[in-house]
Amino acid sequence: MTTTPLTHTPHDSGVPASARDFSVDGRVVLITGAAQGIGRELARQFAAAGALAVVADLDLAKAEAVVKEIHDAGGVGLAVQVDVADEASAVAMVDTVIEKWGRVDVLINNASIFATIEKGPFDQIPLAQWEKVLKVNVTGTYLCVKAVAAHMRRAGFGRIVNISSDSVTRGTVNYLHYVTSKAAVIGMTNSLARELGGHGITVNCVRPGMVATEVERTVNPTVEVRERAASQQCIPRGMVPTDLVGVMFFLAAPASAFITGQTIACDGGYTHSS
């Protein structure tokens, strides 16, 4: 008995048939918070793999610098300024991409307040800081999904990847505003997957471990803290942004068409260790 291989267009969410379905070539990939850290590396790697990378960030100058890196390496990129916590700004970001390339295939919600967070006991977190963290990390994710949803519905295709944190499972102390925001992102992912699945749109979440980037934090982990965290992983080494590239490519590619509503830990097995 012989079967006819399935074929794909970039907007087809059918069952994958071959190695080509793991490709992100030609995809329009919108990454928020992409001017530095994890987002910057994702933008560079997606562009290197042939995707059209949208570097969206509040800091336009830094976003443009990343796009220059992409262009210098032979890739295609577009810098867009956005305040994800402002609905009009999120809509304008998506409209700019639609005007440029006609579609958004992939949205990676990477923007969040993290490096500048001041740690402290939960009952000493200023209300203004609590609200700011949730507005960017939770409301910002929601507004970006809302802004792309209509376009993805019309296309009958979409990949949305939200980014949470392993701090949710660890219950990191003195970080309640951040941990709460990243737990909310997981719940949002689950519900959005059900609401959007019938339109050919998948919604998944990636939960990284402690990632070392060039971004300076208000409170940087000590060498001892990083080494202790690494020693508790199944893969006992520090995590870097490129460790996230594989899972992000997969969730953006046709091969993941039947995977939605999932939170995937990418933490070297930290949450698998005892």
Q: Which of 33, 31, 143 is nearest to 77 (CA)?
A: 31
3-state secondary structure 72-119: HCCCEEEEEECCCCCHHHHHHHHHHHHHHHCCCCEEEECCCCCCCCCC
pLDDT at 274: 43
DSSP letters spanning the chain: ---PPP---TT--S---SGGGG--TT-EEEEETTTSHHHHHHHHHHHHTT-EEEEEES-HHHHHHHHHHHHHTT-EEEEEE--TTSHHHHHHHHHHHHHHHS---EEEE-----TTPPP--GGGS-HHHHHHHHIIIIIHHHHHHHHHHHHHHHHT-EEEEEE--THHHHT-TT-HHHHHHHHHHHHHHHHHHHHHGGGTEEEEEEEE--B--SPPPSSPPPHHHHHHHHHTSSS-S-B-GGGGHHHHHHHHSGGGTT--S-EEEESTTGGG--
Q: Which CATH class is domain 22-272?
A: alpha beta
Domain ranges, ordered by start, for the chain: 22-272
- The reply to whether 178 belongs to the active site is yes
Report d(CA 41, CA 193) in Å as an integer: 26
- Residues 91 and 147 sit within 8 Å (Cβ to Cβ): yes
pLDDT tens per residue, the chain (274 residues)? 333 333 334 445 455 456 679 999 999 999 999 999 999 999 999 999 999 999 999 999 999 999 999 999 999 999 999 999 999 999 999 999 999 999 999 999 999 998 888 889 999 999 999 999 999 999 999 999 999 999 999 999 999 999 999 989 988 889 999 999 999 999 999 999 999 999 999 999 999 988 767 666 666 666 777 788 888 888 888 888 999 999 999 999 999 999 999 999 988 888 865 4
Spot the catalytic one: 142, 175, 178, 270. Answer: 178
